[in-house]
Amino acid sequence: MKTLPDSMTVFERGWLSSNNVLFMSDDSTALVDTGYGSHAPQTLALVQRKLGARKLDLIVNTHLHSDHCGGNALLQAAYSCGTLIPSGEAEAVRDWNRDALTFDATGQNCERFGFTGVIENGATLVLGGLPWSVLGAPGHDPHSLMLYCADARVLISADALWENGFGVIFPELEGESGFAEERAVLDLIARLDIDVVIPGHGAPFSDVARALDVASSRLDYLQADPARNAKNALKVLIVFKLMEVRAMSFNALLAMTSNARVMRAAADALAAPSERRALIEKVVGELAKAGAVTVSAGIVSAS
């Protein structure tokens, strides 16, 4: 794989956090995405270890799902740094509308943070002494952005493209378009000259053509039967929550799928509300069979 510019460092994180990309040039420092809130102390430690006596000047968020912005508040408190967020999320952050920001809607947490500016498709940022084009990447999230440096031939793809897929297509769960947007983003990536992709999750990779083929096939599969997207989303959100809290009673998990808007929408796409318990029992059973969770005496635990 081609090497990254010396001014870039990738912190490859495990779930629950997104990857973080730290930029250091002679005159500025910046961090793209900050991971999940429960991992924020680790994010801060990684940044401090690399920066040493230098301060962090800027946070850039590709989108505001909790696993990408959960460390914002702690880093802001530690460094008094500026923060750029997608322009479409500005009002929700200003009002701290947790439902619009999908934190409550997905049963996840994020400490309140502020912002100093916004970015949108077509903007250019200088990070690590290099120019980065901001590219719209709706599909996984309507407001999601990618960062592309033509000079270095590097793409920070967030959750629009992973080495083996992409993030859940959340808009489709609530009757909004997402599959077509994800397809357009994959087509956009295919037109870029890229040596290295830094995904939101997983290791950086160079075989972009293969990743695009995998993603396109995955999208075909989901689009052919939207219930597949709903089931995948429900499983992802259940496992994410269990990885955070480690264990929940089945009844508490069942209640969460009714109270958290996005989880409820995914469940409603699969079964009537009167059949919710049977549905969640089936989903949890499939997760247990796959080794993702364990179930004992009414308690569901992350494996």
The pLDDT value recorded for residue 143 is: 98
The pLDDT score that the predictor gives to residue 1 is: 72
Q: Does residue 131 sit in the same domain as residue 205?
A: yes
Write down which residue in 190, 224, 258 finishes a domain.
224
Same domain as 254, residue 147: no
SS3 155: strand
Last residue of a domain, one of 178, 209, 224: 224
Is residue 1 in a domain?
no
Last residue of a domain, one of 161, 195, 224: 224
| Domain CATH for 249 | 1.10.10
User: Does residue 192 sit in the same domain as residue 252?
Assistant: no
Identify the domain containing residue 293 by its residue range. 227-302
What pLDDT, in 10s, does the model give residues 288-300? Answer: 999 999 999 999 9
Q: H helices of 63-207, where? A: 66-69, 72-79, 90-95, 179-191
Per DSSP, which regions of the chain are E strands? 8-11, 20-24, 29-32, 58-60, 82-86, 117-119, 124-127, 130-136, 145-149, 154-158, 196-199, 247-249, 293-296, 299-302
Q: What is the pTM of this model?
A: 0.97
- 236-253 pLDDT, tens digit per residue, is 999 999 999 999 999 999
Mean pLDDT of the chain: 98
pLDDT tens per residue across span 210-244 = 999 999 999 999 999 999 999 999 999 999 999 99
Q: In this structure, what token pair is assigned to residue 164?
A: 């083996």
**Distance between CA atoms of residues 177 and 174, nearest Å:** 9
CA atoms within 13 A on the CB side of 251: 2
Task: Kindly report, residue by residue over 119-172, the tens digit of the pLDDT.
Answer: 999 999 999 999 999 999 999 999 999 999 999 999 999 999 999 999 999 999
pLDDT value at residue 2: 80
CA 15 – CA 241 distance, rounded (Å):
11
